[in-house]
């Protein structure tokens, strides 16, 4: 199958100017100044991208793909994600995590859901484990999960600095990081440890102690929710200045922002102003997670659901409200997570990469068209391909 995208302005994520792109099956075959389809050749689908930006498909590397939550008992278990929730938001690659409930949400179910999303047309990976230590893996061993299961690329999300965590020790988390690192090295995967950071004033001290007292490098960890409050955010700046990765969570509610959560678009601007290289920063949505609101005594007082649609919205706000250039802002959901997670075929508009592309309206930056692995999923803002039960 051939698809020719003409007259679009490409951000790869760096700006390449106006070029044509020929998609060959599921790969980017050619990127040239001008590509003219030959006469009397096979059928070629032609997409006119005039007045549109062409950017890599978005990567959301922290999503509760089979649902999450349950902090308000069984009835508050959140639903699993549907295909078009991702594609309509420009997301072509997901990484699934379990989260708080490592009992009724299992690794077998997580991998099965990831494979289901793959069958429906997008790319999906998974992290092994959940909040709790010791980890409940698929095979019984972290290294085996990463080495032997193609969809599993690392560990997470392991919780620290949170009243819902299992309060892991330095020794326990060091052993997890070591096992993940070895598994990644032997399989060519990232083997990274995705760490949920809660509201506690312990912040990132556990990770910093591991880095200071062992041979585990700081980039073995991928801490998320760094924007959840002002004091953690300041600690996150210092952690990033040491060379660590930081991830901001885009799903939120007005109450969280009123209570001090740092809006992602503003968080990106402040990190960049503090001298943190953009390559160390990512956004993830925490999609399908419960967004629980606890009082000071740890009692649940409210609950909503994270939305993957928030991922790109915060990138757009970073451009339109904070004045961050498109080629910089778009990195936090394209090339940065691709590099951190070693997704070598993702995150860039480049020949021989997977044909994951998003066409944005130049005037409004709204998502217009989405290709996932060369297949047209969204056209003119409407879902062309829907999930099995949608």
The whole-number average pLDDT for the span 75-89 is 96
CB-based contact 114:123 (threshold 8 Å)? no
Residue 142 has pLDDT above 90, yes or no: yes
Predicted local distance difference test score (pLDDT) of residue 259: 87
**Band of pLDDT at residue 290, cut at 50, 70 and 90:** confident
In angstroms, rounded to a whole number, what is the distance separating the alpha carbons of residues 168 and 190? 22
Q: Which residues pair with 182 in a beta bridge?
A: none
Residues 86 and 116 sit within 8 Å (Cβ to Cβ):
no
Query: Does residue 292 have a pLDDT over 80?
Result: no
* Range name among 71-75, 224-228, 287-291, 370-374 with the lowest pLDDT average: 71-75
Question: Looking up tokens 């001298």, which residue turns up?
Answer: 275
Provide the pLDDT for residue 315. 98
pLDDT at 4 > cutoff 90 = yes
User: Of residues 60, 162, 286, 317, which has the active-site annotation?
Assistant: 286
User: Residue 309 pLDDT > 80, yes or no?
Assistant: yes
**Res. 300: pLDDT tops 80:** no
In angstroms, the CA 2 to CA 367 distance is 22
Residue range 29-47: mean pLDDT, rounded: 90
Distances 95 to 124, 298, 361 between C-alpha atoms, Å? 6, 29, 27
Residue 302: band (very low, low, confident or very high) from pLDDT cuts 50, 70, 90: confident
For residue 198, what pLDDT band results from cuts at 50, 70 and 90? Answer: very high
Banded pLDDT at 102 (limits 50, 70, 90): very high
337-372 residue pLDDT tens: 999 999 999 999 999 999 999 999 999 999 999 999
Q: Binning pLDDT at 50, 70 and 90, where does residue 37 land?
A: confident
Per DSSP, the residues of 349-379 read --TTSB--EEEEETTT--EEEEEETTEEEEE
Burial class (CB in 10 A: 0-12, 13-18, 19+), 328: middle
User: Is-catalytic flag, 199?
Assistant: no
Least confident among 32-36, 136-140, 148-152, 303-307: 303-307
- pLDDT for the residue numbered 42: 82
Most confident region among 29-43, 252-266, 268-282 by mean pLDDT: 268-282
3 state DSSP class of 30: strand
Closest CA to 253 of 295, 300, 307, 311: 307
- How does pLDDT run across 254-266, given as a tens digit for each residue? 888 988 999 999 9
pLDDT mean across residues, the chain:
95
Q: Which residue has the higher pLDDT, 94 or 299?
A: 94
Task: Report the alpha-carbon distance of residue 164 to residue 269 in Å, rounded.
Answer: 30
pLDDT tens digits along 48-75: 999 999 999 999 999 999 998 777 889 8
Q: What is the pLDDT of residue 69?
A: 77
User: SS3 of 67, please?
Assistant: coil
Radius of gyration of the chain (CA): 20
């Amino acid at each position: 199958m051939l698809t020719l995208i003409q007259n679009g302005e490409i951000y790869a994520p760096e700006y390449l100017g106006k070029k044509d792109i020929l998609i060959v099956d599921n790969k980017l075959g050619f990127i040239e100044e001008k590509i003219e389809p030959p006469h009397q050749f096979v059928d070629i689908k032609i997409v006119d991208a005039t007045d549109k930006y062409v950017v890599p498909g978005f990567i959301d590397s922290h999503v509760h793909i089979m649902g999450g939550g349950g902090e308000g008992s069984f009835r508050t278990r959140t639903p699993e994600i549907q295909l078009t929730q991702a594609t309509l938001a420009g997301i072509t690659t997901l990484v699934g995590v379990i989260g708080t409930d490592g009992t009724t949400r299992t690794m077998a179910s997580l991998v099965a859901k990831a494979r289901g999303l793959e069958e429906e047309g997008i790319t999906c990976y998974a992290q092994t484990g959940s909040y709790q230590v010791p980890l409940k893996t698929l095979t019984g061993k972290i290294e085996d999960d990463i080495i032997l299961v193609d969809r599993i690329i690392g560990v997470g999300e392991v919780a620290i600095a949170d009243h819902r965590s299992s309060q892991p020790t330095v020794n326990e988390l060091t052993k997890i990081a070591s096992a993940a690192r070895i598994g990644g090295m032997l399989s060519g995967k990232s083997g990274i440890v995705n760490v949920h950071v809660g509201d506690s004033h312990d912040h990132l001290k556990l990770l910093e102690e591991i880095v200071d007292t062992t041979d585990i490098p700081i980039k073995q960890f991928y801490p998320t929710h760094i924007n959840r409050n002002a004091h953690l955010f300041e600690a996150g700046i210092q952690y990033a200045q040491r060379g660590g990765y930081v991830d901001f969570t885009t799903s939120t509610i007005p109450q969280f922002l009123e209570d001090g959560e740092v809006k992602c678009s503003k968080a990106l601007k402040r990190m960049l102003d503090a001298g943190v290289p953009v390559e160390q920063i990512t956004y993830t949505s925490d999609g399908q997670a419960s967004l629980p609101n606890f009082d000071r005594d740890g009692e649940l007082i409210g609950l909503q659901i994270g939305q993957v649609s928030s991922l790109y919205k915060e990138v757009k706000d970073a451009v339109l409200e904070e004045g961050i250039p498109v080629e910089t802002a778009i990195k936090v959901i394209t090339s940065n997570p691709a590099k951190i997670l070693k997704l070598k075929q993702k995150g860039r508009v480049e020949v021989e990469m997977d044909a994951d592309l998003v066409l944005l309206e130049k005037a409004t930056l709204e998502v217009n068209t989405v290709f996932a692995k060369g297949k047209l999923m969204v056209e003119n803002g409407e879902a062309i391909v829907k999930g099995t039960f949608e």
